[in-house]
C-alpha cells in the first residue's frame, strides 16, 4: 500500500458525462456554423487512417480538432456547458468529494469548465491548443493516464475508480475498488489478467 492521500478517481466521457463531450461539442458547433463541414473530408480520412493503424490517436485527434479555427472555442465551451450540464449523471452528486480527481482524454480547456461548475479542482486531461487544435502533449488515455496520475499525485492511493471503458484498465488496476459505468448504471469492475 502506498503512503499518500486516498482519492476517488473518475474518467469523464461516458462515466460522469452521458456521451462523448467532444463529439457533442462538434455537433453543437455544427448546428451554429454548418460550413465547418468543409473540414469533414480530412477528419474522416484521419479516422480511417487511424483505424488502419497508419497514424496514432494523437495525430487523428489533431485532424478532428481542425474545426476549432472557426470559433472562439473557450467561449463555445462555456455556452455548450450552459446547455449540456444536465448530461452529468446524477449519481455523481451523491458521491462528490472536494478532493475528487477527473482524468480524461478530452481537452483540458473544455472539461475544466464543467469541472469548475461541479466543484472538482483536480483535473488531468489532454493538453490541446483551443485556437489551433494542436495537441501539445500525449493523448491522456490508456497507460498515459497512469503516468499523468503519478506525476500529479505521487504515491497517492486510489480508493475507487470509475470508468466506462476497458482502455482504463491500467488505472483501474491501481484502485482498491473499480467500477464500470454503462448508461449511468454502476457495476463492480472485476479486472482479469489480460486487461492490465
Angstrom distance (rounded) from CA 139 to CA 119: 24
- Beta strands across the sheet bearing 185-188: 122-126, 101-107, 6-10, 157-163, 175-182, 185-188
**How large a percentage of the chain has pLDDT more than 70?**
96
DSSP β-bridge partners for residue 182: 185
Asked if residues 69 and 128 have their Cβ atoms less than 8 Å apart, the reply is: no
Distance in angstroms (rounded) separating the CA atoms of residues 175 and 161: 6
Pairing status of strand 185-188 against strand 175-182? antiparallel
Please report which residue ranges of the chain form alpha helices under DSSP H.
21-32, 40-51, 57-64, 73-84, 91-95, 108-118, 143-153, 169-172
Which pLDDT score is estimated for 1? Answer: 46
**Which of the four pLDDT bands, split at 50, 70 and 90, describes residue 84?**
very high
pTM above 0.85, yes or no: yes
User: How does pLDDT run across 17-45, given as a tens digit for each residue?
Assistant: 999 999 999 999 999 999 999 999 999 99
Query: Which domains does the chain show, CATH number per domain?
Result: 6-188 (3.40.50.1000)
pLDDT above 70 (res 64): yes
What are the backbone angles phi and psi of residue 85, rounded to the nearest 5°? -60, -25
Predicted local distance difference test score (pLDDT) of residue 30: 96
In whole angstroms, give the CA distance from residue 19 to residue 5: 30
* pLDDT above 70 (res 193): no
pLDDT of residue 99: 95
Question: Measuring CA to CA, how many Å separate 84 from each of 16, 24, 28?
Answer: 12, 9, 10
Query: In whole angstroms, what is the distance from residue 90 CA to residue 16 CA?
Result: 9
CB under 8 Å to 184, separation ≥6 — which residues?
A: 18, 89, 90, 91
3-state SS class at 146: helix
| Nearest-angstrom CA–CA distance, 103 and 144 | 10
Amino acid at each position: 500500500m502506498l503512503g499518500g492521500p486516498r482519492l476517488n478517481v473518475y474518467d469523464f466521457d461516458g462515466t460522469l458525462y452521458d456521451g462523448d463531450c467532444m463529439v457533442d461539442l462538434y455537433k453543437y458547433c455544427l448546428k451554429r456554423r454548418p460550413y465547418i463541414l468543409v473540414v469533414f473530408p480530412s477528419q474522416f480520412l484521419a479516422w480511417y487512417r487511424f483505424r488502419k493503424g497508419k497514424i496514432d490517436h494523437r495525430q487523428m485527434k489533431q485532424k478532428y480538432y481542425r474545426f476549432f479555427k472557426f470559433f472562439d472555442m473557450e467561449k463555445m465551451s462555456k455556452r455548450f456547458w450552459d446547455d449540456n450540464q444536465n448530461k452529468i449523471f446524477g449519481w455523481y452528486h451523491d458521491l462528490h468529494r472536494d478532493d475528487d480527481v477527473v482524468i480524461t482524454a478530452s481537452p483540458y480547456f473544455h472539461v475544466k469548465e464543467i469541472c469548475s461548475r461541479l466543484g472538482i479542482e483536480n483535473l488531468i486531461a489532454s493538453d490541446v491548443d483551443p485556437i489551433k487544435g494542436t495537441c501539445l502533449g500525449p493523448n491522456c488515455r490508456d497507460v498515459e493516464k497512469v503516468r499523468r496520475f503519478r506525476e500529479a499525485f505521487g504515491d497517492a492511493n486510489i480508493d475507487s475508480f470509475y470508468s466506462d471503458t476497458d482502455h482504463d484498465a491500467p488505472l483501474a488496476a491501481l484502485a482498491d475498488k473499480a467500477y464500470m459505468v454503462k448508461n449511468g448504471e454502476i457495476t463492480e469492475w472485476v479486472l482479469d489478467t489480460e486487461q492490465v
